Amino acid sequence: MSVSRESMTQWCNTLLAGRAAAPTLELVDYLADVPRLDTLSDIPSGTAVAIRGDVDAKPGDKVGEGDIRLRSMVETLKFGIERGWKQIVFGHIGRKPEGSLSKVASRLGELLGQEVTLVSDWINEETDSITDAARDQIAAAKPGSVLVLENTRRYEIERVLWNATPDDVPALADRLTHFTNEFAEKIARVYVHEALSAGSLDTSSTIIPAAMDHVAMGLYEASEFDGPMRKCLATQLVVFSGLKIDKLDDLDAMIGRGSIECVFAAGSLAMALKKAIGEIDGKPCCLGVAEDPAHSDKPYFIPAERVVQAKRMVTEGRAKGIKFEVPVDSVIEDGSVVDELQPGQQQFDIGPKSSKLFETQVGEFIATHPDGGVAFHNGVFGMFEDPRFESGTKNFIPQLQRMTEAGIDVYVGGGEGGKALELYGKPDWVTHVFTAGGTVLNALGSEPVPYLVALRLAAKG
Ligand SMILES: Nc1ncnc2c1ncn2[C@@H]1O[C@H](COP(=O)(O)OP(=O)(O)O)[C@@H](O)[C@H]1O
Ligand SMILES: O=C(OP(=O)(O)O)[C@H](O)COP(=O)(O)O
């Protein structure tokens, strides 16, 4: 199947519109429409199958070190090897274009017990065409072989939708149509998405499916969505933090789903909610530089409209009985602790009184859920990479273990929250840790996961 410029234009517009393109569709609807790997069981031996893989990993010296995302692909790759498919794994490593997948290819070889070849130069940047050398290498590969294409983000075509708006689509449509059809003609016409964490608008995960004859989700990805992710849709306690204020939209959407009883917030989300609660309760508070217009270009800045949004969330939430717990003290730039931020001060972590408050509230959550419940934890409470600002995050991780031991199902989003669990706790302190950060927030939050939108579009024809 080749894709026309017209359908590529429509495809891009749907992706860029996100939820607005299909406001009534929920995660479960996307999952219902995306084919699973078993639908490809009859694809014959020798067929080239593109695997958009979770290759953004830093394998250490030994198997098991830094390769959890690569291990997540093994079952799917073995499924293809058993059927004699020629599997072409591709994807990105890091944000910058320089990264190489050479170590990833060797670790995949170790995990699969067979040679995995790296195809180094596979796109001609000037023409957005697949190089003849890459095409010939794939064509000559034996049934059952696995190849890895070098980092997709080396090539501009992978990144063209990152900051695009619908106005950019007319200028991009020809390039994307050409590249996608080249990919289908010279690499593969069957596509498997086995990259749970690939949550950005990368061409490899959101556009290539447009020209595929068949698409499916990989085994791991499907099991993560069908199992833990669905469980998290019914979370009662959400612990949410981090620097990006747009996560407030995700929290808003999660609350809208109706199961949440209690919200613990830290970081930027807490700043917006704290300001809102202060205004609602007639006890206004200062957010320091986070509300100073001179800092409006900084990542920690809270625009006034976010406080308006937070006020609505708190008012509506409280009316439904939802409790919002926000920090009652802060660690500021010089490492000291203050109860109230003053103009000019910046919050870098929650203070000890806030840690105590969260601990008490965890106790209350446990006491009110004697038959179990679900908690979802995401993000970090402060700039934990700096030891002066790690205590808030470090103090809370044992609370996750406490909940698990009390029979609560505890889920941790990947990204920084997952890193904090690795640093200050152990994986078995919680029910499940996701190998993705952004994707989990999209899946549970306000916007659909871009690759699920693409896989659904491809499946629906
Ligand atoms: N006051 C703060 N609260 C929370 N995180 C902060 C703060 N200041 C800086 N950070 C940093 O922001 C990053 C986490 O923010 P964010 O990108 O929103 O989360 P994630 O990466 O989990 O999606 C971490 O690197 C953290 O150190
Ligand atoms: O590490 C990743 O995601 P995560 O930090 O959201 O877990 C993925 O490789 C996505 O990377 P991106 O956010 O650069 O698109």
Residues 6+ apart with CB under 8 A from 138: 48, 86, 88, 119, 147, 186, 187, 188
Is 80 exceeded by the pLDDT of residue 8?
yes
Domain 233-430 CATH class label: alpha beta
Evaluate: CB of 53 within 6 angstroms of ligand 2. Answer: no
Q: Which of 54, 56, 205, 421 to mutate to test the pocket of ligand 2 (most atoms within 8 A of CB)?
A: 56
- 438 CA to centre of ligand 2 in angstroms: 6
Contact 385, 425 (CB under 8 A): no
Here the tokens at position 136 are 């010939």
What pairs with residue 402 in β-bridges? none
Listed in sequence order, the DSSP H helices in 216-351 are 219-224, 230-232, 247-256, 267-280, 304-319
- When pLDDT is cut at 50, 70 and 90, the band that residue 242 belongs to is confident
Evaluate: CB of 445 within 6 angstroms of ligand 1. Answer: no
- 116 CA to centre of ligand 1 in angstroms: 36
Q: How confident is the model over 286-316, as pLDDT tens digits?
A: 999 999 999 999 999 999 999 999 999 999 9
> Looking at residue 243, what DSSP letter applies?
S
Q: Which ligand is nearest to the CA of 68?
A: 2
Fold of 5-225+448-460: Rossmann fold (3.40.50)
Q: What is the pTM of this model?
A: 0.93
Separation between Cα atoms, residue 319 and residue 108, nearest integer Å: 52
Is 90 exceeded by the pLDDT of residue 283?
yes
Q: Is the dihedral of CA 354, 360, 362, 364 positive or negative?
A: negative
- The H or E element that residue 14 is part of is helix 5-17
Q: Which atom belonging to ligand 2 lies closest to the Cα atom of 440?
A: 6
Q: Do domains 5-225+448-460 and 233-430 have the same CATH topology?
A: yes
Q: How confident is the model over 220-236, as pLDDT tens digits?
A: 999 999 999 999 999 99
Buried b (16+ CB within 10 A) or exposed e, 205-219: bbbbbbbbebbbbbb
- What is the overall mean pLDDT for the chain? 97
Listed in sequence order, the DSSP H helices in 320-414 are 352-367, 391-405
Q: How confident is the model over 340-366, as pLDDT tens digits?
A: 999 999 999 999 999 999 999 999 999
Evaluate: CB of 316 within 6 angstroms of ligand 1. Answer: no
Evaluate: CB of 250 within 6 angstroms of ligand 2. Answer: no
Is 80 exceeded by the pLDDT of residue 1?
no
Is 80 exceeded by the pLDDT of residue 320?
yes
Evaluate: CB of 250 within 6 angstroms of ligand 1. Answer: no
ipTM: 0.94
Map out the domains of the chain as residue ranges: 5-225+448-460, 233-430
Exposed, middle or buried by CB within 10 Å (0-12, 13-18, 19+), for 296? exposed
CA 348 to centroid of chain Cα atoms: 24
Q: What is the DSSP string of 403-429?
A: HHHTTEEEEE-SHHHHHHHHHHS-GGG
Q: How confident is the model over 414-426, as pLDDT tens digits?
A: 889 999 999 999 9
pLDDT of residue 34: 98
Contact 218, 85 (CB under 8 A): no
Q: Tell me which residue has its CA closest to atom 9 in ligand 2.
A: 56
pLDDT of residue 334: 97
pLDDT of residue 361: 98
